[in-house]
Structure 1
Amino acid sequence: MQEKTKEQTRFSYHRELGGLEVVDAHYYRKNFSRHSHEGYTINVIDKGVQKFYYSGCEHFAPEHSIIFVNADEIHNGQSATDTGWSYHGMSPLESQFSKLAADLGLGPNFAPYFPNAVVNDPHLAGQMRQMFSLLASSDNSLLRETLVYGVMSQLMIKHGKRRIDLRNYRQDHVGLDRVKAFIHDHLSENISLETLALLAGNSPFYLVRQFQKKFGLPPHAYQIQQRLKKGKALLRQGMKVAAVASEVGFHDQSHFHRHFKRAMGFTPGYYAREVSSGK
């Protein structure tokens, strides 16, 4: 039986997301000495309470709170209780935030400053947990980029020191129709949000907002719905479930099964049997 006091850390590096570093950790007796990082430290506390020194004083981050440590600033970390603490965290670089800031109209060299070391934002904490979960389980580039860009943009907009007034772009129907057609023409491919943004002539952040406003779903969800629509048609033609999953671009049969059942209320295997029997 594994000792309850064993420290656990899982680290992942996402080159396709600009070199984003992500960590999932559960610590009991870990005591980080004072140090700094090249990038930001942004963590969401899953369980327990973390205590840490930062910006000249001690801070306490309870369950569901978000920790912000700006790049190159000295901090440490340890549990504030006897039962340890768990968190998911990421370490975006200033260059990654600068790219998003340019998309938001803040200039090419802007990097945010987060004035509060600990914030209580349950909604954004939930978005961060969803992002971390899908980074670990999904290889859908469109979905991964959308979640990461969305979370990082919201962090800047809601908790950065500088007020950000979002630009109201005129909706480019031609550009959005181009994106829609591209999704249909490359339905089985693992396309990126960056590719779609270039087609639309807009930034990834504004593309997602405009696409959803016009078509009712963000690009990644629209892609999944079109894959399911084509999958149903192929099942009616008698193609096997596993072959359909591959044909329409799902990672494997289990991913197809999960999305199909979530959308339709029944499994693709059940659907295939019913349509083949003619009932």
Structure 2
Amino acid sequence: MPGTAFFWRDPALPHVESRRACHSRACYKPHSHPTFSIGAVDAGGSIFTGSKDGKVALGNGSLVLVPAGCVHACNPLPDAVWSYQMLHLDAQWLQAHAPALDDDTATVLHCPRLYAQFCAMHALLFSTASAGEKNAALLAFLADCAGARADLLPSERKPLPLQLAPVLATLQARPSASLRQLAQAAGLSPYQLIRAFRAATGMTPHAYQLNMHVNRARSRLQTGAALAQLAHELGFADQSHLQRVFKAHAGITPGRYRDRGS
């Protein structure tokens, strides 16, 4: 049975986006989101990387809380399929409405009650209920999420080395800057920059750039952007290049992502 994916977005609730994937074999490169993400495993098994515990096995009913900017990946077991649900929340909205969840380390929860509540809330998002009802259910779930992990020790935030601050500033100003330009900004050789950047962020500079492009593509696709124009805007060689990179990060082609969210 081929895998299927369903997206939900509502202009009345711009701070949340939802996804369901059934019988999926999609594998993801290590990546990050500008959003706070919550995933739930409905069937099958997978391996999650990105928490302080290293690789963590997930099964039916597992929940994963992934902070904005946290490099992670979650892939099915070899030669197997899995089904899951994914929720993405605007990071600033989360900080204002559920600050207890605003952390920098991914958390895995195995709580049947919380999983059942997540499923009910997620189903409500896909229903014809009012925006007010959906938002109330979301806030209630987040409050219970915070309670479920309240006994976990807070993580120690690791500030980015000051030497790399000019690199991130360059990437924000020029997302397609070359490795040599980034190395010059940091006063390092390209090889030194790759090692230092990977140690600090979990990605090489090139992987970080691709991840930035994919996250920008997500935002533009939600407005119905044309793929050829988007590929040009983001500095991809062509539309096919955009499609390959986007699918490797999101598990779905940009065209399907755009059309299924409409």
1:25 maps onto 2:21 in alignment: yes
SS in 2 for 1:14: coil
Structure 1: gaps (5+ residues): 164-279
Report what 1:50 is aligned to: 46
1:159 maps onto 2:149 in alignment: yes
1:73 maps onto 2:63 in alignment: no
Write the distance in 2 (CA, Å) between the matches of 1:30 and 1:147: 29
Aligned residues: 152
SS in 2 for 1:32: coil
8 Å Cα contact 2:101/2:146 also seen in 1:
no
In our comparison, the structure showing a higher alpha carbon Rg is 1
Report what 2:36 is aligned to: 40
Once the 2 structures are TM-superposed, how far is the Cα of residue 81 of structure 1 from its aligned partner? 5.0
Once the 2 structures are TM-superposed, how far is the Cα of residue 115 of structure 1 from its aligned partner? 4.8
Report what 2:88 is aligned to: 91
| TM-score under structure 1 length normalisation | 0.49
2:143 corresponds to which letter in structure 1?
A: S
Once the 2 structures are TM-superposed, how far is the Cα of residue 27 of structure 1 from its aligned partner? 4.3
Match of 2:6 among 10, 17, 30: 10
Once the 2 structures are TM-superposed, how far is the Cα of residue 151 of structure 1 from its aligned partner? 0.8
8 Å Cα contact 1:42/1:91 also seen in 2:
yes
1:77 corresponds to which letter in structure 2?
A: C
Once the 2 structures are TM-superposed, how far is the Cα of residue 111 of structure 1 from its aligned partner? 5.8
Q: Evaluate the alpha carbon distance shift between residue 120 and residue 17 of structure 1 in structure 2; reply closer, same or farther with a 3 A threshold.
A: same
8 Å Cα contact 2:36/2:94 also seen in 1:
no
8 Å Cα contact 1:59/1:117 also seen in 2:
no
Write the distance in 1 (CA, Å) between the matches of 2:45 and 2:136: 30
SS in 1 for 2:126: helix
1:124 maps onto 2:120 in alignment: no
Once the 2 structures are TM-superposed, how far is the Cα of residue 10 of structure 1 from its aligned partner? 1.0
8 Å Cα contact 2:68/2:104 also seen in 1:
no
| TM-score under structure 2 length normalisation | 0.52
Question: Deviating runs (4+, > 4 A) in structure 1?
Answer: 160-163
2:21 corresponds to which letter in structure 1?
A: A
2:69 corresponds to which letter in structure 1?
A: D
Structure 2: gaps (5+ residues): 155-262
Write the distance in 2 (CA, Å) between the matches of 1:87 and 1:67: 11
- Higher normalized contact order (CA 8 Å, seq sep 6+, divided by chain length): 2
Once the 2 structures are TM-superposed, how far is the Cα of residue 28 of structure 1 from its aligned partner? 3.5
Once the 2 structures are TM-superposed, how far is the Cα of residue 29 of structure 1 from its aligned partner? 2.4
Once the 2 structures are TM-superposed, how far is the Cα of residue 73 of structure 1 from its aligned partner? 1.0
Once the 2 structures are TM-superposed, how far is the Cα of residue 133 of structure 1 from its aligned partner? 0.9
SS in 1 for 2:132: helix
Q: Evaluate the alpha carbon distance shift between residue 88 and residue 137 of structure 1 in structure 2; reply closer, same or farther with a 3 A threshold.
A: same
